[in-house]
Structure 1
Amino acid sequence: MDSIRKISMFPLLRFLSSEDHGMPTGYDHLVIIGNGAVKNGWEPVLKTLREHGWRSSEFQSPLFKKPTQFNAAHCLSIISFVFRMLRNAFFKDPSRIDFLSVIQEINEFKEELCKNFKEAEKEKSISLRSDLAEIIKKIGINNSSLNTGYITLNWDELLWSRCEEFPNLIQLHGRVGLPYSLIFPTELSIDENIIEVLQKKKVYDISSEQHRMLGKNNIYSELSRNHYWALNWFENVKKLFIWGVNFNEYDCELNSILFVMKNVSLNEIYVLDTQCSNRVDFLSKIMNFDITKFKCIQVNDL
């Protein structure tokens, strides 16, 4: 690592910097990492869904009794929907404190989820499927700390804990070290920023304790910073690598960035996925890029 540069740290973002270089606007190479790149990546989620023991009637359906890897994201999106629905209802009528018990239970679920992820990382029951540096090396790219950035969509801290290997990193959906930072499937960080603005303007007459229960617990500015700099990194990259991302209706935060990004320097997009052709078809449309810029790579072939 360049001895001149130090690592500037934020709760959900870090990067190599120096006195001559502030926050980087982007890198030649950018690697996007989804849950498909993690071995047993859904296990902490499934464990939490199975063991939480929901008290609220909203979560008594068979879907929550026997969750699977194929419907776990749907379960999380329902949890998010219920949270936002009750939060908005409470904002409209703060006398309805009965809504807060369900909201508090969802917050407890998030705490348990983060605890299970931390235990899985400690026990090494979840891990990156392959050595990331080796994958990039085999593709023929120089994995220099100075020209490569990483954006992970995962909540785990498998990359965050390896600061020397991955110094330039954005945890786009939050991380388990900060339970209130988690962005659930179908959620957008902008929604949380709006809540913060309205609270500062005293639009909602609620207590600070209630605000902490209903929001992201003073992490709003970090979520906004995440989104802003992720967009900058996307718009300045020359070679983009996408590993293990489904690109379905649950990936709202990432899809929103890809839809609005404008990049004239992006030459190649490598998609590392067992269903590569399906991902390429979707990406070429949402990014409005010619399909010839995409290169399909089967991870198993590496």
Structure 2
Amino acid sequence: MKKNRVALLIGAGAVENAWTPVIKAIKEFMHIETTPDGANFIFANFIYMLRIYAAMGDGEPRAPIMLDISKRNTYFLKEAVAEHLRIAQENNEIKARPALKRILEKFVISDDNDFGFATTNWDKTTDEIIDQEVKRFGITNPPTVFHIHGHMNDCNSLYLPSEFAEETFRTREESKKIGQLHIEGFQFFMEATHIILYGISLDPLDAELSQMLRSACNFDHLKEVTIINLENEKHRVSERVRLLFFPRNRNIKVNFIDASTI
């Protein structure tokens, strides 16, 4: 009997206090108080300035200097974020929400399923829970959790909001390497019969992720998408998932589950 292929994609909503260390890092680095929305605004601005200075090229004498300064500032900001995430995880200030274990047991781990995992999170709190739960079910070689946006152990790998693989401020070799990693990491999603989105908002700043999911939705073997989020996110996230099916408008079953009820 052919197995279902279940792909679980995890976002910041799956982690308690996910934004707290990021906000602390921004305060330390920029000496300003902000919010998660403000953090996204700041990150996107850093990426925009990198693009602008890279695009100027030789037409503006100061452009190479300003690009170098912007690259260094972005690196130091990422370094601060990674360090605060590591500290927060070591001190259990951030941790996977209890619902993750129940989601794995109810929807993912089964003899009837092949399964794979990906996350947009920079921390590794959900990785630890997934590893523990999969092994608890007797699977000795659990699949690796693919970090779409990089992870805290390599601050250079951190993807910031609005960033994507093909950037003008990267070398061709860097872009090719990142693009290849994304293709390999998302291969399971392209083959999935059921995609589960937990704590994911499909933010417009992450158009690259949305396009990856849209590509998966265009394959005929995908039959079902389950959104697990808070009830107040239902309309917004469900609408964004529906738009992933355009232009084919395939008859894919879409479920919404309030994360607080699991």
- Verify same fold: TM over 0.5: yes
Cα separation, 2, equivalents of 1:292 and 1:118? 39
Deviation at 1:250, TM superposition (A): 1.3
Shift in CA distance, 144/43, structure 1 to aligned 2, threshold 3 Å? farther
Unaligned 5+ segments in structure 2 are: 135-141
- Are the counterparts in 2 of residues 28 and 238 from structure 1 also a CA contact under 8 Å? yes
Change (3 A) 1:301 1:176: same
CA RMSD of aligned residues (A): 2.8
Partner of 1:245: helix, strand, or coil? coil
Work out which of the residue numbers 161, 178, 188 in structure 1 matches 2:154. Answer: 178
1:195 aligns with 2:150: no
- Is the partner of 1:237 in helix, strand or coil? coil
Question: Could you tell me the percent identity over the aligned residues?
Answer: 19
Letter in 1 for 2:37: F
Unaligned regions of 5+ residues in structure 1, if any?
Answer: 1-25, 55-64, 201-217
Q: What SS is found at the alignment partner of 2:37?
A: coil
Q: 1:37 aligns with which of 14, 32, 37?
A: 14
Give 1:282's aligned residue: 240
Cross-structure match for 2:200 = 245
Distance 1:91 1:230, change over 3 A: farther
User: How do 1:1-302 residues align onto structure 2 when only pairs under 5 Å count?
Assistant: 28-53=5-30, 65-89=32-56, 96-99=63-66, 100-139=68-107, 141-143=108-110, 147-161=114-128, 163=131, 165=134, 167-191=143-167, 195-197=170-172, 220=175, 222-261=177-216, 262-274=218-230, 275-288=233-246, 289-290=249-250, 293-302=253-262
- Partners of 1:80 and 1:149 in 2: CA distance: 30
Query: Quick one: structure 1 residues 168 and 70, their matched pair in 2 at CA, closer, same or farther if it must change by over 3 Å?
Result: same
Deviation at 1:133, TM superposition (A): 3.3
Q: How far apart, CA to CA, are the structure 2 residues paired with 1:50 and 1:134?
A: 35
Give the total of aligned pairs. 245
The AA in structure 2 aligned to 1:286 is L
TM-score, normalization by structure 1: 0.72
1:31-62: CA deviations, max 9, x gaps? Answer: 000111111101111001111136xxxxxxxx
- Relative distance call for 1:87 and 1:161 in structure 2 (3 A) is farther
- 1:186, 1:251 within 8 Å by CA — same for their partners in 2? yes
**Other structure's SS at 2:56 match:** helix
* TM-aligned CA deviation for residue 102 of structure 1: 3.6
Does structure 2 conserve the Cα–Cα contact (< 8 Å) formed by 1:133 and 1:143? no
Could you tell me which amino acid in structure 1 is paired with residue 160 of structure 2?
A: F
Cα distance in 2 for residues equivalent to 1:228 and 1:97? 31
CA contact (8 A) 1:30 1:234 kept: yes
- Please give the alpha-carbon distance, in whole angstroms, between the structure 2 residues aligned to 1:27 and 1:185: 32
